């Protein structure tokens, strides 16, 4: 089928076993751009966020208050967050706060939503946070507590849920224990990350079932898949069949992890929306506007978008020079 301005749209075949609506947690401006080799200008980041909101995304993660020497691509966190209208209606701009200083910086700028980033494995916790799992838990406890006291929404990210490049297979019980610790601290929801993209649908179903067996309702879980092995959409569909209704994705498929070199791009938001549109699942997102946004962003970065949907709907054109 064809939609507005000639943009193809998928035929809709509704599966009543799937959720009627899915909340997309857009991570492109933070998780996507943190892995760029160059520094994206503040004005480009702010325009990207504005375009994503205009396309219908209600949650657009803005930045991370990490130390600049760790992730220089996000050294402009104050400028980016300061340029946003954080009190605008139903639009949310969460920010990552890796430590107490990061929370101080976020609070000073009026952030309404923050996230902490933990690991399911000991090795990655030490590489990413320079702390053991126990030490990271101790560090996050006062951060989550202070954020909740200030009335902020708090999300917990859990990385390496399906595999670790140093430790290999990660036992399900280990992931559930690490996730429960974050929720018990007071996190409102938990995003389960396949940081290096090795997960498969069976693993996804098994992990979600294990969280259910541990007393964690699926309504408090989100999924965050990387597409390293081409499994991100299949894994997302498996999660939807288990009742998950919050899915993380990155416009244009940008992203990775600067502390795990085997982690390639995130699930592309356009690829996700195409699938959800075809399943008759409401997202509130205008696919045409989203594709235009990622085509524009590809031009800013000087390379084509890795998203298959962006490339298909834009005719796989090479990006033009930024205007």
Higher pLDDT, 264 or 179: 179
**106: enclosing H helix or E strand:** helix 100-108
pLDDT at 34: 87
Going by pLDDT thresholds of 50, 70 and 90, the confidence category of residue 319 is very low
- b/e code 187-218 from CB counts within 10 Å (16+ = b): bebbbbbbbbbbbebebbeebbebbeeeebeb
Low-confidence winner among 89-103, 147-161, 275-289, 309-323 (lowest mean pLDDT) = 309-323
What are 65-104's pLDDT values in tens digits? 998 888 899 999 999 999 998 876 799 999 999 999 999 9
What are 134-183's pLDDT values in tens digits? 999 999 999 999 999 999 999 999 999 999 999 999 999 999 999 999 99
pLDDT at 279 over 60: yes
pLDDT at 6 over 60: no
- Listed as own residue / partner, the contacts of 82-87 with beta carbons closer than 8 Å and 24 or more positions apart are 82/109, 83/42, 83/46, 84/46, 84/49, 86/110, 86/111, 86/112, 87/112
pLDDT at 131 over 50: yes
- What are the structural domains, with CATH classification, of the chain? 4-313 (3.20.20.70)
Mean pLDDT of 266-287: 97
Q: How far, in Å, CA of 131 to CA of 122, rounded?
A: 9
Q: Which of the following is catalytic: 161, 187, 242, 257?
A: 257
pLDDT at 89: 79
pLDDT at 211 over 80: yes
Distance (Å) of CA 195 to CA 136, 181, 183, 269: 18, 19, 20, 17
pLDDT at 2 over 50: no
**Is 257 among the catalytic positions?**
yes
Mean pLDDT of 207-234: 97
Classify residue 226 by burial, with Cβ atoms within 10 Å: 0-12, 13-18, 19+.
buried
Beta bridge partners of 25: 59, 248
pLDDT at 70: 83
Mean pLDDT of 26-34: 93
Q: How far, in Å, CA of 160 to CA of 71, rounded?
A: 19
Please state the pTM of the whole predicted model. 0.92
pLDDT at 234 over 90: yes
**Average pLDDT, rounded, for the chain:** 92
């Amino acid at each position: 089928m064809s939609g507005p301005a000639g943009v193809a749209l998928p035929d809709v075949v509704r599966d009543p076993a799937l959720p009627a609506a899915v909340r997309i947690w857009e991570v492109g401006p933070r998780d996507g751009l943190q892995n760029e080799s160059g520094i994206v200008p503040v004005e480009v980041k702010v325009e990207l966020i504005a375009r994503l909101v205009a396309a219908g995304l209600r949650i657009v993660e803005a930045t991370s208050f990490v130390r600049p020497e760790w992730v220089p691509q996000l050294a402009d966190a104050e400028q980016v967050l300061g340029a946003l209208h954080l009190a605008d209606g139903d639009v949310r701009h969460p920010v990552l706060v890796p430590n107490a200083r990061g929370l101080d910086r976020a609070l000073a700028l009026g952030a309404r939503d923050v996230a902490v980033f933990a690991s399911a494995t000991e090795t990655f916790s030490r590489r990413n946070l320079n702390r053991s799992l126990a030490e990271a838990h101790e560090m996050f406890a006062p951060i989550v507590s202070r954020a909740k006291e200030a009335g902020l929404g708090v999300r917990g990210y859990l990385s390496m849920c399906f595999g670790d490049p140093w430790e290999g297979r990660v036992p399900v019980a280990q992931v559930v224990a690490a996730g429960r610790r974050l929720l018990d601290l007071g996190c409102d929801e938990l995003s389960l990350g396949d940081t290096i993209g090795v997960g498969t649908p069976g693993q996804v179903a098994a992990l979600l079932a294990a969280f259910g067996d541990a007393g964690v309702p699926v309504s408090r879980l989100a999924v965050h898949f990387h597409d390293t092995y081409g499994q991100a959409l299949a894994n997302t569909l498996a999660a939807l069949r288990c009742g998950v209704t919050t899915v993380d994705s990155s416009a244009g498929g940008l992203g990775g992890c600067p502390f795990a070199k085997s982690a390639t791009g995130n699930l592309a938001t356009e690829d996700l929306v195409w699938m959800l549109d075809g399943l008759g699942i409401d997202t509130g997102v205008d696919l045409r506007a989203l594709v235009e946004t990622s085509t524009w962003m590809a031009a800013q970065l000087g390379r084509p978008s890795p998203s298959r949907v962006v490339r298909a709907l834009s005719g796989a054109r090479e990006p033009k020079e930024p205007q």
